Structure formats: structure tokens, C-alpha cells
Homo-oligomer: A and B are copies of this chain.
Amino acid sequence: MDLDSKFSDISKTLKGSAVRELLKYAEQPDVISFGGGMPNPLSFPIDNIKEIINNILDNYGTKALQYGTTEGVSELREQIAKRMKDKFSINVNPTNIITLNGSQSGLYMVSKVFLNKGDYVVSEAPTYVGAISAFNAQAPSWITVELKDDGMDLNELETKVKKAIEEKKVPKFVYVIPTFQNPAGLTWSEEKRKHLLEIASKYDLIIFEDDPYSEIRFSGNHVKPIKYYDSEERVIYMGTFSKVLSPGIRLGWVAANDAIIRKIALLKQGVDLCTNVFSQYIALEYLKNGMIDKQIPKIVELYRKKRDLMLKSLEENMPEGVTWTKPNGGMFLWVTVDYDIDTEKLLKKALENKVAYVVGTAFYPDGRGRNSMRLNFTYSKDEDIITGISRLGKVIKEEIKK
């Protein structure tokens, strides 16, 4: 059978990467991997979930096991709106919320709703690898803008947006993860959040704000999501239950204006019909019973210690010329090596030394980032953080000496 001629153009561009292949070795039990993006299993409220599920099955099992509406379970959308109000002072109508099979699905849906082939999409550099996969399924053109310690370089953004508009190609949206960014662990200042909205208003841009980590803050002052400052309905806000409940139940949501929610819902009918109803009822009870507010402090406590331990281990093991971010929350930090090294090549050596990370290039749509890597500090056991960073320090030191 001649399959190659049958695949779509997009499908032909989908190829497994060498790095992904290498990361399979990271699954071996003796390798300490900082490569995954996984919450720590200790953060899962298993007893709560058990109580919740027995309650669901006793009281409304037939609803929770049946098909649901494409927009999502109404009571859950109300609870999400309430939480966005309570935690971030964001006013959003439940009908402006659609639930999704994980926030990855939101990345895909929003990109499919807006992007034609070749359209400009703007992101931070580096940006989330999952957003690169999702958006690339629409074959867009990327505009990447340097991420500084306090957020995107907004001068660079404005220059690049102007240039795109001169080409008569207004960027379709600006994708940002302003709080505890993945992969960099950095957080935008309040000033930059407001300034981004001014730029968006000036050039009629949509902002796509991905906010998986805001509730997982260990230190520093709370900053409101960009959506809070949005008076023109320019911000598509996306949240998830993956970091505060469980990623395995695949549940996220998007909050946006009526027309956008409607388009996502119409697309979703073809893409996956409706979001897992059982998962939605679990999340509904988790919010409604207030279990979430008892669980989050435990997660924060667990992760703060792990972050502190990783920062300390880096301090003790990394040679001069290696720098890293100090996140106030989230799950990741970003290591930069100020030498001419290639973390893709280095990964092979790291794996020989039984330690793994994600190479920096994975987070740039344009192949930059060769001297950087992302480390996850939430998943590993404490002793593995100490041992793993020691191994990584050794590998980097040897590479630099060459």
C-alpha cells in the first residue's frame, strides 16, 4: 500500500525527534529524570477523590457516565467562574467558559479557530513545547519575542507586530504564559501585563493567556492574571486542573468572549464531541466542597521544598558560567550555560551518567536554545534531586573543560 502519498501535508511534517527518542532512555529506573513535566504523585488528593467518586456514583452516576453538552457541565462552569472571581477577582460569566479534555486541547482548539497556514502567531522565546506542537498542526509562521526576567521584551514585540502589519498580516494572537512560565519559570511584572494590553489594544491583537501554575506559588507577591486587566475582551484565558487535582483526568477550560467560545464549541463537536463528563463531576465536587483549598497549601509546601533543594544543589554543583532562574512557583526552572555547548549532544552523555533534562531547543520554534535546558523540580524524590543535580554538574563541568 502506498501510504506516503495518502498522508496530508500536515501529517507529512509530523516526525518523531531524535531528542524524544533519547528521552526513552530517561524512563529506565536508574536514570534520574528532570525531563518530564509531571506533578508529584504525592500532590494527588487520592482520599478526596475516592470520597468524591463514591458520592458521584451514589447520587448522580447516570449523569456523570452519560454524554454531556459540548460546552461542559453547567455547574462546573459556574464553579470555575466563582473560583476565577474568588482567587483572581476576574469577572467571567459561566457561559463564557468551555471545559476541555486538558489544556493541551485548548492550545489546539484556539489555534485551529484562528490560524490559517502561514498566519503569524506570536509567542515568548522560549515557549511551551506543547504549544509549539499544537500550533504547528496549523502550519503557522512564528514570531518569537525574547522573554526577560520580568516578562516579554515589549519593545521587540511592538517592532515585530508593526513589521507584520506592514506586510498586511496582523498576527492572529499573542500566546503567553505570564506566571511561572514553562519552561523558564519566570513571571511577568504587573507593568508588563498592563503594557501588553495597551499594545494589544493599539494594534487590535488577541492575547492567549495560558495560566496553569498561578495557584502554585511558593514565594513572592501575587500578581493578577492578564485577564484581570482586560477591559476589551481581548484575552482568552486558559486554566487547568492538572496541577491542582490530577493531570490523568484531563481537564482544562478556556474563558473568552461569546463569539470565540461559540467557535470553539462548534469545532469541538467535530474534534471530540464533549469533555470527559466523569472528570468534570470530580472537579465540580472538588471545587464545591472546598477540598481544593485544603489541598493546594499541601502541594505548595511540597514543591517549595523541592525547589529550594534544587536551587541549593545547583548552587553547590554548577561551575561558573552556568546560570538558572529562581522561580516563585510552578514546576520548572531554566538553566543557561554561557559556553559554546550543545545540550542536545550533551544529553547523550548525561544519560550515560544517569541523569536527564529537556534540551532548550525543544522550546523554540526556530531551533535556538542550544546552550540551555529545562529542569523539572516537582516530580523527583528529594534524594534524587541531590544526586541528579550532582551528576548533571559533573557532566557540564567535563563538557566545559573540553
Query: A residues bordering B, Cβ < 8 Å?
Result: 1-3, 5-11, 14-16, 36-39, 41, 44, 46, 49-50, 53-54, 57, 61-68, 101-102, 104-105, 107-108, 112-116, 119, 130, 133-138, 170, 172-173, 204, 206, 232-234, 242, 246-250, 257, 259-260, 262-263, 266-267, 269-279
Contacts and interface: CB of A to CB of B under 8 A. Distances in A.
30 contacts: A1-B234, A3-B260, A6-B172, A6-B206, A7-B263, A11-B263, A11-B267, A14-B267, A16-B262, A44-B66, A49-B57, A53-B53, A53-B57, A65-B246, A65-B247, A66-B246, A68-B248, A101-B250, A102-B274, A104-B270, A108-B270, A108-B271, A112-B137, A130-B270, A133-B270, A247-B277, A249-B277, A250-B273, A272-B272, A278-B279
Q: Is the interface of A mostly helix, strand, loop or mixed?
A: loop
A122 to B, nearest CB: 13
Contacts of A105: 271-272
A204 B1 contact: yes
B102 A273 contact: yes
A135 B279 CA distance: 27
A245 to B, nearest CB: 8
Contact of A134 (B14, B173, B266, B271): B271
Nearest to A27: B69
Nearest to A108: B271
A271 B137 contact: yes
A263 B112 contact: no
- Number of this chain's copies in the assembly equals 2
A369 to B, nearest CB: 19
A50 B278 CA distance: 12
Contacts of A112: 8, 10-11, 137
A101 B272 contact: yes
Contacts of A3: 257, 259-260
A204 B1 CA distance: 6
What are the 5 tightest A-B residue pairs by CB atom distance, in nearest-first order? A248-B277, A133-B270, A41-B62, A65-B246, A14-B266
Residue from the set A14, A119, A135, A272 with the largest chain B CB neighbour count within 10 Å: A272
Given A7-B114, A14-B263, A44-B62, A204 B67 contact: no
Given A50-B57, A53-B53, A246-B278, A8 B273 contact: no
B104 A67 contact: no
A262 B12 CA distance: 11
Contacts of A246: 65-66, 278
A233 B6 CA distance: 14
Given A101-B272, A102-B274, 7 more contacts: A1-B232, A6-B206, A44-B61, A46-B65, A66-B247, A272-B272, A276-B276
